């Protein structure tokens, strides 16, 4: 690929502030979790609500989600940068079991790990998956949503963690 195109793509995308989530999974394929910014709502009006996440094909979490056929998308609270770093392997906890050992969590109704303090946790069954180039596009059907009392989500943009601020209405 043209390296200038790749660099401009990455720079352009870094300007899109996104929320930060941890995709967790548990079951026969093991317990794994990975920090993602690729969580997207797909539909609120199908048989059940649905969402998608893109996870690198080499991530152990991706293969586990494909095997477990279920995952939980934990939308992090703005105070949870440490959890984002932990599940991105930036906090010296490369082993996924160590990641879970260093955060509070409990299994949801489908047995998927719900992280304490997440502003919203969407427990899903895997509906379909598509391997596109380097990433699995994972579509989940949402079975339950756990909401915390604090709605402020952690953001990531221009290569740094951020929080949303309210803009006054223009005249």
Which residues here bind ligand FMN, judged by CB under 6 A?
20, 34-38, 54-56, 59-61, 84, 87-89, 156
DSSP for 51-66, written as a single string = EEEEEETT-HHHHHHH
Least CB distance from residue 37 to ligand FMN, whole Å?
4
Least CB distance from residue 94 to ligand FMN, whole Å?
6
Separation in Å, CA 26 to CA 14, 51, 69, 125 = 31, 18, 9, 12
The CA distance from 89 to 73, in Å, is 17
**Nearest CB to ligand FMN, comparing residues 38 and 148:** 38
Least CB distance from residue 27 to ligand FMN, whole Å?
17
**Contact indicator for 71, 27 with CB cutoff of 8 Å:** no
**Nearest CB to ligand FMN, comparing residues 158 and 167:** 158
**Nearest CB to ligand FMN, comparing residues 82 and 104:** 82
> Given CA atoms 27, 28, 30, 35 in this order, what sign does their dihedral have?
negative
Measured in whole angstroms, the distance separating CA 158 from the mean position of its chain's CA atoms is 18
**Nearest CB to ligand FMN, comparing residues 94 and 170:** 94
Least CB distance from residue 157 to ligand FMN, whole Å?
9
């Amino acid at each position: 690929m043209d390296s200038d195109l790749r660099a401009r793509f990455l720079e352009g995308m870094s300007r899109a502030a996104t929320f930060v989530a941890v995709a967790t999974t548990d079951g026969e394929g093991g317990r794994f979790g990975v920090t993602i910014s690729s969580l997207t709502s797909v539909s609120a009006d199908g048989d059940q609500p649905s969402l998608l996440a893109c996870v690198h094909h080499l991530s152990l979490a991706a293969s586990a989600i494909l095997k477990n056929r279920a995952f939980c998308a934990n939308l992090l609270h703005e105070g949870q940068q440490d959890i984002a770093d932990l599940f991105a392997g930036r906090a010296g906890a490369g082993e996924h079991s160590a990641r879970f050992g260093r955060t509070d969590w409990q299994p949801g109704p489908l047995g998927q790990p719900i992280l304490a303090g997440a502003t919203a946790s969407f427990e899903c069954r895997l509906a379909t998956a598509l391997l596109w180039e380097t990433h699995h596009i994972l579509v989940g059907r949402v079975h339950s949503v756990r909401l915390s009392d604090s709605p402020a989500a952690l953001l990531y943009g221009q290569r740094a963690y951020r929080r949303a601020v309210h803009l006054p209405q223009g005249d």
